[in-house]
Structure 1
Amino acid sequence: MLPQRTNLLISGTHLISMDPAVGDLPEADILVRDGRIAAIGPHSADRESGGAQVLDATGTVTLPGFVDTHWHLWNSLLRGTVGDRPGTDYFTVKRALAPHFEVADFYWAARFGLAEAISGGITTVHNFDHNVRDPQDADANIQAHLDSGLRGRFSYGPPDSAAPDVPNDLDDLAALRARWPESRLDDRLDFGIAVRGPYRTSPEVYEREWGTARSLGLPITMHCDRCMREEGCRNCGLVRLDELGLLGEDVQIIHAVHADEHDVSALARTRTRVSLSPMTELRTMGFPPLTELLEAGVRVSLSLDTLAMPTSADVLGHLRTIISVEAARTGSGVITPRRLLELATIDGARDLGIEHVTGSLTAGKRADIVILRSSDVNLTPSGDPVEALVYTGQIDNIDTVIADGRVLKRHGRLTVPDGEPDPLAMAAVRRDALLRRAAVAGDWHGPIAGDGTPPPTHPGPATFPDQGGTR
C-alpha cells in the first residue's frame, strides 16, 4: 500500500525550479495540495499552512524530481552477477539468465530498481522492457511501477534474444490499454513500444511494429547499437531510418554513440529524441556525443540504462562525470551545471511528453520534488547551489523525495509501509532462486548466494496476476 498523499508546506528552502518564469528563490515556500503544487512564493515565517503538514526545509535545496528516460528494470536482479571477469560481461549474463525469469522476478526486479530510483531522487522512469516473455510479464512490470509510487512509461519489447523474424507481441500491445485503463494507472503511467529496428529485424517485422505503434498512437523507442553488431561500422545508420520514414517526434533513439554528422542532422531535422546513458556508454560503447547533439538542436535526455552493468542511481555523480568528460573531450561551454540539471529534469519530461505534468517546480504541476541538505559537509561552503550540486553533490545529501504528492523518502530513508515486503530483501531472494534455476539448466556457472530455501511467493498485491510467481 502506498503512503497517502499529504498536503504539505515546504518552508524556507532554496528553490531551483527549472522554470524560467519562476526562477531560483533563495528562500521559498512550496505548498502542495492533493498531489499538486498549489503555490510557490518567497518564504514567510508567519505563513499560514492551511492545515498542511509543515516540512521545515531550512538549510536545504529543492528541485524537481529527476526524470530517467531509459531503464531496463527487469534486469535489476542481475546486479552483482555482471562484472569484469571472463564470462561475466553484461550481454553474456543477460542472455544466460533472461529465459529463466518467472513472473514474480519481473515484479520484484522492477520494485527493486524503482526503490533505488526513489533513493536517488528519480521520480519518473521510462521502463524499456526488452524481455517481455508473455503478457503476465508486462502486467508484473506495470503493477510494480504503480506500487512504487513513481511516474513513468512502460515500453513493451520482445523476449531477450528473440529471432529477427519474431515481432513483439503486438496483439497484447494493442490489448494493453483495455487491460490497464486510465482509471487503474492513477495518471502516472503511459505505454510505448520498444523495437529492435531495421538492423536487427526483417522488414516484415519492423514495418509491422512501426505501423502498429503509430496506428495506436504509441511512442517508439529503439537502441541505436549498430556499431556493436557490424564490423567496420562508422555511423549509427540513422540516415537509413530517415529514408525509411522511421524517425520522427514519436521516436526515441537510445545511445547514438557512433552517430556521425549525417545521423545527427537526420535526428535534428526529424525532431527525433535521443536518450543518452553516459555511465554505461563510457564503459562499453565510447564517448556519448552530448555536445554535438545539443549544438545541432537535437532533443536530448539522460538515463541510467541498467543496474546490472553495474551502475547506481546516483544522478548527481553521473552529471559530474558527464561535465568532466565533455570538458576534456570538446572544451565546449555548452555543457554547464545548469544545462545538465535541465537535461535530468525538464528535458527528460519533454522527451516523454509530460512536461506539462512534471520536470519543473511550477504551480499546477504534480508534486515531484527532491529536497537535499545543503548543510552537509560536501556542499559547504557553497557559492552557486546549482554548481555545488553538480560538482560535489551526492546521493547521501537527498533528505526527502516526494512523488505525485506522496513522501517516499524522508530523513534519508525510504518510507516502506509497515507490513509491506521490503523490495531489497525480496530482490535478493528472487535473484538467488533465479541463479539456481539457471544453474540446474546448465546456463549459469557462477556463485549463488543464499541458503537454498525457496523464494517467497508473495509477488505483490492481491490484484497481481499469478500469485505463485511461476508460469
Structure 2
Amino acid sequence: MRQRHDLLIAGTHVVSMDPAVGDVPQADVLVRDGEIIEVGPHAGERAPDDVQVIEAAGTITLPGFVDTHWHLWNSLLRGTVGDRPGTDYFTVKRALASHFELDDFYWAARLGLAEAVNGGITTVHNFDHNVRGPRDADANIQAHLDSGLRGRFSYGPPDSAPSDRTNDLDDLARLRERWSDDHLDGRLDFGVALRGPYRTPPEVYEREWATARSLGLPITMHCDRCLREENCRSCGLVRLERLGLLGEDVQVIHAVHADDHDIEALARTRTRVSLSPLTEMRTMGFPLLTELLEAGVQVSLSLDTLAMPTSADILGHLRAIISVEAARTGSPVITPRRLLRLATIDGAKDLGLHDTIGSITPGKRADLVILRSSDVNLVPSGDPVEALVYTGQIDNIDTVIADGRVLKRHGRLVPADDEIDPVVMAAARRDALLRRAAAAGDWHWPATPTIDPFHPGPGSSTPADEGSLQ
C-alpha cells in the first residue's frame, strides 16, 4: 500500500460539486489522514509544518470520477476484440473466458484499475460476470485493494453459465468472513451481479434476489431484453416491478430500449440506472439520458469494458454525450456541469457513497483530481467546467489522489514500492491466454484483411440474440 501523507493543495480552482462549498478560485484544500479538513482561500494558513504541499496554481481540482459498471476481468481482451469477422465482443469473450487462470483475473483487474487512475477515476464498481470460484473472486478483490482505489466488487456467475444455475450463493455469504473491515481498508464493499428473469427461470432469480436481500447486498443487472426477444418494444421493467425485483437496492445497466412505462417503473421504485454511452452507441442504441433525468431516475455513468475497445477517458465520454444529446433531443437538461455531476456525486449516490466521496466537502475522504488549466487545449477559457467538458482530455490530468494517497503525479502513475508494472504483466498474461485457448482449439487469430480505403469491408456486429455487453 502506498504511504499516505497529510496534503495541502495550494492555490487551485476548486469545482467542489457541493452547493454549500461551490466553486472556489484560488483555494487551498487541506487533507489530513485521508480526510478533507478545510477548503478555502486561507486553509493553508492552518496546515501543519510537516504537510506535503502540492503547488497547484493554474489548475482545477475536481472530486475523483466514479465509474459504476466496469467488467474488469475482460480488460485482457482489448486488442483481441475488434471489427473483423470473428472478433466481435461475444465471440472472443466466449472463446477465452474459460481459459482464464487466477493470475489472469488479478492482472486484468490491475490493468483496468491502472487505466482508471490515469483517467482520474478513483472509484470503480467491478461487475464480475466470470466468477468461476472463490479464488477468482479473491483475486479481483486483492487487485482492487492493491490498486489504491475505492469501489465495489459485485459477485456474478461464470461466463455463459447455464440458465438453471444460480450464482455461488454460499460463497457470496462467506465473503465477509474472508475479507474483514481491516482488510478492506474502508475502500471496498460487496454486491451481487444477477442475470434476472429474462435470462433465468423463477427458481433461480427468486432465490438469488432473496439471498442478496437477506445479506443486505446491493443488486446489479443488465437490462437487455430487447436484444434477446424478436419484435421487442420495451425493456420489460414493468414486469420486474410487478415481481418485486426493482427498488433502491437495484442498479439496472443500459436500459437503452426502455419505454415510457419502463422509465416510470424505475422512477416509482427509485431504481438506479448506470449508462455506458460509448458501448451502448456502438452495439445497442442511444442511451436515454435525457428521458431518465427528466423522469427523476437516479443516473450514473460507466465505461463498461476496455475490451470493446474503449478507454478510461471520462472527459472524452462526456463530450460525446453532450454532443449526442444536443442532436438527439436538444434538451437543456444536459449541460457540462450536469454531466460532471453524473461523473462524480451522482456516481457516488448510485453506490451509496455520497456521504464519503463525490464532492470536495470537509469531512469527506480525499478522492481528488487535479488538472492543469493552463494547457494549450484549455486556454483561453471562460467557465472552467465548460472548458473541461468541451476540450479537456486525459493529458491535462496532473495529479490523482485516492483516499489521501497520491496515485498519479506530474502526469505519471506513482507505483507502490517494488510494484510490478501492471501494463507489462497484463500484456504477457494476454499472450499466454491466447496460446492456451489456441492449443485447446477454442481460438485462432482471424486473417488480417487487405484494406481498400475506397471499398472497406463490412465490420462484424453483435448478433441480435446476444444481448448487451455482459
TM band (smaller chain): over 0.9
User: C-alpha displacement at 1:419, in angstroms?
Assistant: 2.3
What are the residue-to-residue correspondences of 1:19-418 with 2, within 5 Å?
19-43=18-42, 48-418=47-417
Mapped to 2, the partners of 1:357 and 1:215 lie a distance apart of: 25
- 1:97-133 deviations in Å (ceiling 9; x for gaps): 0000001100000000000000000000000000000
Cα distance change of structure 1 residues 174 and 387 upon mapping to structure 2, 3 Å threshold: same
Cα distance change of structure 1 residues 418 and 266 upon mapping to structure 2, 3 Å threshold: same
- Counterpart amino acid of residue 445 in structure 2: G
- Counterpart amino acid of residue 378 in structure 2: L
Mapped to 2, the partners of 1:387 and 1:346 lie a distance apart of: 18
Contact 1:10 1:55 in 2 (8 A): yes
Contact 2:2 2:417 in 1 (8 A): no
- Counterpart amino acid of residue 211 in structure 1: A
Contact 2:71 2:126 in 1 (8 A): yes
- Counterpart amino acid of residue 281 in structure 1: E
User: C-alpha displacement at 1:418, in angstroms?
Assistant: 4.3
Q: Give the 3-state SS of the residue equivalent to 1:356 in structure 2.
A: coil
Q: Give the 3-state SS of the residue equivalent to 2:436 in structure 1.
A: helix
Mapped to 1, the partners of 2:207 and 2:52 lie a distance apart of: 52
Contact 1:70 1:305 in 2 (8 A): yes
Structure 2, unaligned runs of 5 or more = 448-470
- 1:416-463 deviations in Å (ceiling 9; x for gaps): 134211000000000000000000111111179xxxxxxxxxxxxxxx
User: C-alpha displacement at 1:183, in angstroms?
Assistant: 1.3
Report what 1:451 is aligned to.
none
Cα distance change of structure 1 residues 51 and 246 upon mapping to structure 2, 3 Å threshold: same
Q: Give the 3-state SS of the residue equivalent to 1:160 in structure 2.
A: coil
Contact 1:379 1:393 in 2 (8 A): yes
Contact 2:85 2:446 in 1 (8 A): no
Report what 1:11 is aligned to.
10
Q: Give the 3-state SS of the residue equivalent to 2:153 in structure 1.
A: strand
State, as a whole percentage, how many aligned pairs show the same letter: 81
Contact 2:251 2:272 in 1 (8 A): yes
- Counterpart amino acid of residue 80 in structure 2: T
Mapped to 2, the partners of 1:310 and 1:412 lie a distance apart of: 23
Structure 1, unaligned runs of 5 or more = 449-471
- Which is further off, 265-274 or 230-239? 230-239
Contact 2:281 2:287 in 1 (8 A): yes
Contact 2:87 2:446 in 1 (8 A): no
Mapped to 2, the partners of 1:447 and 1:254 lie a distance apart of: 31
Mapped to 1, the partners of 2:61 and 2:24 lie a distance apart of: 10
- Counterpart amino acid of residue 203 in structure 2: E
Q: TM-score, normalised by structure 2?
A: 0.94
Mapped to 1, the partners of 2:177 and 2:24 lie a distance apart of: 44
Contact 2:437 2:443 in 1 (8 A): yes
- Which is further off, 107-116 or 418-427? 418-427
Mapped to 1, the partners of 2:30 and 2:270 lie a distance apart of: 36
- Counterpart amino acid of residue 60 in structure 1: T
- 1:387-416 deviations in Å (ceiling 9; x for gaps): 000000000000000000000000000001
Q: Give the 3-state SS of the residue equivalent to 2:362 in structure 1.
A: coil
Q: Give the 3-state SS of the residue equivalent to 1:127 in structure 2.
A: strand
Contact 1:79 1:309 in 2 (8 A): yes
Contact 1:74 1:109 in 2 (8 A): yes
Contact 1:120 1:398 in 2 (8 A): yes
Cα distance change of structure 1 residues 338 and 106 upon mapping to structure 2, 3 Å threshold: same
- Counterpart amino acid of residue 101 in structure 1: F
Mapped to 2, the partners of 1:276 and 1:419 lie a distance apart of: 37
User: C-alpha displacement at 1:165, in angstroms?
Assistant: 0.1
User: C-alpha displacement at 1:229, in angstroms?
Assistant: 1.1
Contact 1:9 1:49 in 2 (8 A): no
Contact 1:27 1:43 in 2 (8 A): no
Mapped to 1, the partners of 2:263 and 2:42 lie a distance apart of: 45
